[in-house]
Amino acid sequence: MKFLNLAKGDVVVGCGHLYAMPVKQFKVGETTYADMKDIGYIHEEAVFRRSAESFDLETVSDGIIASIPGAYTTEFETGVISLTVDNMTLYTSGSATETLESGKVRIYGCESDKPAELALCFVGTDDDTGKTFELYMPYAIWQPNTEWTFADAETPISLNFHYKCCNTTLPNGKQGSYYIETNVGVESAT
């Protein structure tokens, strides 16, 4: 990941790493990504999306007179190219695994799999300055969609990671689905 310093402010470009741990072990505002397991490097892009429903109030004579926000939906989606058994099971589908006598591992995709409930952190670090962008999602549930694309010998196979972020109590004491800690764009007082 690179951070470009432009005249009007810093710009974040590129991708980074995804970290995770079981949601029950995560302490909001205290646990950092250094305490979490590095799932792997993000392939090409990561998409963090927060949207809200809205309900319009209409009258016959004046049309729409107000728009009231409803519930927020927060999602995080990316592809991870560091494929390990844990990445394919523990942090996603909850599928069972079995080590075979041959040394191979068999991964089962069963209908009874319970998707992982995790705390996630997406981190980008500028190799030149050490500045970081840390997006914490304290309660995320993997969405049970698995897709691998086998394109060609040059294209890495990535495991899709698509999570729906649920609300929990954030460090400010309010309910929410994420918080960001960063020193990008923060200048010293001296």
Is 4's pLDDT higher than 70?
no
| Phi/psi at 154 (5° precision) | -95, -15
Give tens-digit pLDDT for 102-136.
Answer: 999 888 877 777 888 899 999 887 767 777 889 99
More confident: 112 or 153: 112
102: Cβ contacts below 8 Å, ≥ 6 apart: none
Q: In the prediction, which pLDDT does 172 show?
A: 96
Q: In the prediction, which pLDDT does 185 show?
A: 66
More confident: 9 or 127: 127
Confidence of residue 10 (pLDDT cuts 50, 70, 90): very low
Is 140's pLDDT higher than 90?
yes
Give tens-digit pLDDT for 15-45.
Answer: 778 899 999 999 999 999 999 998 877 766 7
Give tens-digit pLDDT for 47-76.
Answer: 889 988 888 888 888 888 888 888 889 999
The pLDDT mean for the chain works out to 81
pTM for the whole thing? 0.77
Measured distance CA(97)–CA(14) in Å, rounded: 33
Between the alpha carbon of residue 156 and those of residues 17, 69, 80, 88, 152, the distances in Å are: 16, 41, 10, 15, 8
Is 77's pLDDT higher than 90?
no
Is 175's pLDDT higher than 90?
yes
Between the alpha carbon of residue 157 and those of residues 41, 63, 105, 107, the distances in Å are: 12, 51, 18, 17
Give tens-digit pLDDT for 157-166.
Answer: 667 788 999 9
Q: In the prediction, which pLDDT does 11 show?
A: 47
Q: In the prediction, which pLDDT does 30 show?
A: 95
Q: Token match 């809205």: residue?
A: 54
